[in-house]
Chain A
Amino acid sequence: MSEDLTHSPLGSLAYDPAPESASIAHLRASYGLFIDGEFTDPVAHEQFTSLNPANEEPLASVAQASSADVDRAVVAARRAYDNVWSKTTGAERSKYLFRIARLIQERSRELAVVETLDNGKPIRESRDVDIPLAAAHFFYYAGWADKLDFAGFGPNPQPLGVAGQIIPWNFPLLMAAWKLAPALAAGNTCVLKPAETTPLSALVLAEILQQADLPPGVVNIVTGDGSTGAALVDHPGVDKIAFTGSTEVGRMIQQRVASSHKHLTLELGGKGANIVFEDAPVDEMIEGIIDGIFFNQGHVCCAGSRLLVQESVADEVLRRLLRRVDQLRVGDPLDKNTDVGAINSAPQLARIKELTAYGEAEGATRYTSSCALPDKGYWFAPTVFADVAQSHRIAREEIFGPVLSVLTFRTPEEAVAKANNSNYGLACGVWSEKGSRTLWVAERLRAGVIWANTYNRFDPTSPFGGVRESGFGREGGRHGLEAYLNV
């Protein structure tokens, strides 16, 4: 079908490459840890390499923080909390955060390129979504720092102390912003652990914190693998753990802090149902389904990975959907025309391949985009499974890749029952022109976020987070402050 579009009487309508320059990233060859306002000497640490998943070439070498390093970071955060940050008024904290927001805006192009290189996501997304939203989060929470009395938690709410924050690789800078901005606004100090495969934008953020003259120790950034995260979770000097990542790791963290004084919020996996009623606005709905599952290669905890279509329109929706999937441009993430970039890592690619193999084995019908994939790097062509049953692994487990499972329903009750038939409860979509029915469905969905006639919308003012095995606690909005206040 793609040939219809690329070969016309006027000649080829294929896009010419429009690559962003990788040199804009200005990456250093190696990075130390960011502790107490300074970068440690990289030589002092064991190093690991952060790869560009689009071509498997090394980008920079990064320090593997040991438990001793984590201890130094927590001690620095505690000292900064006791001596400086807890004595800094909300109005002054506010101005630091506004500064950080502005600096992110100023360095947005550089950050977008760093993010795309390190993560593999299309530059269009890092440029238009990740980086602007990260700045917006700092801007929004900057405004809360001097207004905590009005946030609805009673007068003079107090911070928790030192927050340990562990973030995933799918939105590296944005997740750092989601964690740091509310924590700092509420008056906590932080130790942030970026994901092992995507540490670089957080290290650029560390430079930004220096430019903002944020007092030393208020934010510390320790890079490393799971053992670094475990050391942070177990550290007795930490008052709060905030984790975004898999349900499997979240469960482990909850068990590890269960008998401690530590506060905990978890933002975990999902298996979002995108529910399409027969009266849905067709063009918007098709784009919404595409965006819901192929945005960021499907590396999105709230991805609309289960499409529930009303039976009367199922054939038509599937036909249009497959046509659109075939038009997605997959390839160089730095190309401004790219829709779907690289899978973030080899292990993630292996997991996607494993689960999709189960999809076929269990009897679902597989459609794979005919797009060509690059020779080097980690790639997976956009894939749709039809004839999926609720018992299939691809309907129950989070694939975290560009893979959509299509199921059908007949009545609103059945749509709700199927949508809720999941251990997860992060996000759902509802597509219908009938507002009253959308609200009826929304009331019955067990999910933290419900999008109506849209999908994957994020805004700093809007609370985000899940129920059941998708975790607890909210990020964003007034509600997001609660995770960092002793209330």
Chain B
Amino acid sequence: MSERQEVRKTYKLLINGAFPRSESGRSYEVTSKKGTFLANVAQGSRKDVRDAVVAARSAQAKWWAQSAYNRGQVIYRLAEMAESRRDELAEHVALAEGRSAKDAQTRVSRSIDRIVWYAGWTDKIAQVLGSSNPVAGPFFNFSVPVPSGVVGVVAAQDSSLEGFVNAVFAPIAVGNTVVVIASELRPTPSILLGEMTATADFPAGVLNIVTGYTGEIAPTLAAHEDVDGLDLGGVANGFADELATSAAASIKRVLRAHEYDATSLRGLRAFVETSTVWHTIGQ
């Protein structure tokens, strides 16, 4: 009797809630840290990036229009989905990053807890960053944080899951939609997480993932006129300078490489604008 062969998965992009191959038809080989074959991953093109931005833009107003409570439940639902598929995530983190099973499990735990952390921020960020301003006059004056809009992210290259979670769910939690270029050499954990968003009631287009060669497609994201913010966490310094300069043409908010941790709001603050309302007071 012949041995049963596993059904292997095709790793695809996530654009507008669908999982297409690259429009270019290209793919590239991804291996484990040890060099064994893992997958032929879609090699996203500049056109894929532009399609993803269109999807993110059309989703943004809807995502922001949902109540903060509802957005929190959607992100929390992703944590529920990730918890039930944690072994699969850990296996891929271990292969991609060359870690022990135990270490990979710890990283998955931290990633899921961080998703829960972000879920809780959706309806609190305004209470921490917002204010009522005692202007010297008969006005009620208040400031609220509003999302920048569409945020382009170049995800961390080494930290294939944790880095991805932080860079992506910080902007999403505060109401942005995201186009993310996954870790070039270690994309599979982020692709898995993207698949899980499909069962977590994420509206199509809130999270869009493009895999491929960072050097080829990141400039398109950085220069795109309809991208409002850019996180260059996964880009080495020299290239990051180049992308940041290109982003300046459309006055994007740019976030350079930094450490994410639960003691800082830097990631959450990076892509919010402050909107201030003056209202008269009088009989």
B128 within 8 Å of A (CB atoms): yes
B36 interface residue, CB < 8 Å from A?
Answer: no
Which of A146, A152, A477 is close to B120, meaning CB atoms less than 8 Å apart? A146
A139→B72 contact, CB < 8 A: yes
Contacting pair B72 A143 (CB below 8 A)? yes
With contacts A152-B128, A436-B282, A440-B138 known, what are 10 further pairs, Cβ within 8 A?
A: A136-B69, A139-B76, A143-B124, A146-B116, A146-B262, A436-B283, A439-B280, A440-B281, A440-B283, A443-B281
A residues with a Cβ closer than 8 A to B are 91, 94-95, 98, 136, 139-140, 142-144, 146-147, 149-152, 412, 435-437, 439-440, 443, 460-461, 477-478
Closest to B77 in A: A102
Q: Give the contacts of B102-120 with A (CB-CB under 8 A).
A: 113, 116-117, 119-120
> In angstroms, how far is the closest chain A Cβ from the Cβ of B82?
13
Tell me the smallest distance from the CB of A95 to a CB of chain B, in Å.
Answer: 6
Tell whether, in the assembled complex, residue A98 and residue B128 are in contact, meaning their CB atoms are under 8 Å apart.
no
Q: A139-B72, A149-B263, A439-B140 are in contact. Are A144 and B117 (CB under 8 A)?
A: no
Counting residue pairs across A and B whose Cβ atoms lie within 8 Å, the total is 72
Give complex CA distance A384, B45 in Å.
Answer: 70
Taking the closest CB of chain B, its distance from the CB of A290, in whole angstroms, is 25
Q: Could you say which of A149, A152, A437, A478 contacts B283, with CB atoms under 8 Å apart?
A: A437
- A143:B282 contact, CB within 8 angstroms: no
**Does B279 sit at the interface, judged by CB under 8 A?**
yes
Given A98-B76, A139-B72, the answer on whether A147 and B263 have CB atoms closer than 8 Å is no
The reply to whether the CB of B51 lies closer than 8 angstroms to some CB of chain A is no
Residue in chain A with minimal CB distance to B118: A143
Complex Cα distance, B281 from A151, in Å, reads: 29
A354 to B217, CA, bound (A): 78
Of B117, B127, B138, the contact of A91 (CB 8 Å cutoff): B117
- Closest CB in chain B relative to A211 CB, distance in Å: 15
Closest to A443 in B: B281
Which residues of B have CB within 8 Å of A150?
124, 128, 265
Q: A143-B124, A147-B120 given as contacts; is B265 within 8 A of A436 (CB)?
A: no
Find the A residue at minimum CB distance from B114.
Answer: A91
Interface residues of B in 50-95 (CB under 8 A from A): 68-69, 72-73, 76
State the CA gap A460–B127 with chains docked (Å).
Answer: 12
Q: Which residues of B contact A460 (CB under 8 A)?
A: 69, 123
Complex Cα distance, B119 from A144, in Å, reads 11
Q: Give the nearest-CB partner of B110 in chain A.
A: A91
Q: Are B127 and A461 in touch, CB under 8 angstroms?
A: yes
- Find chain B residues with CB under 8 A from A139 CB: 69, 72-73, 76
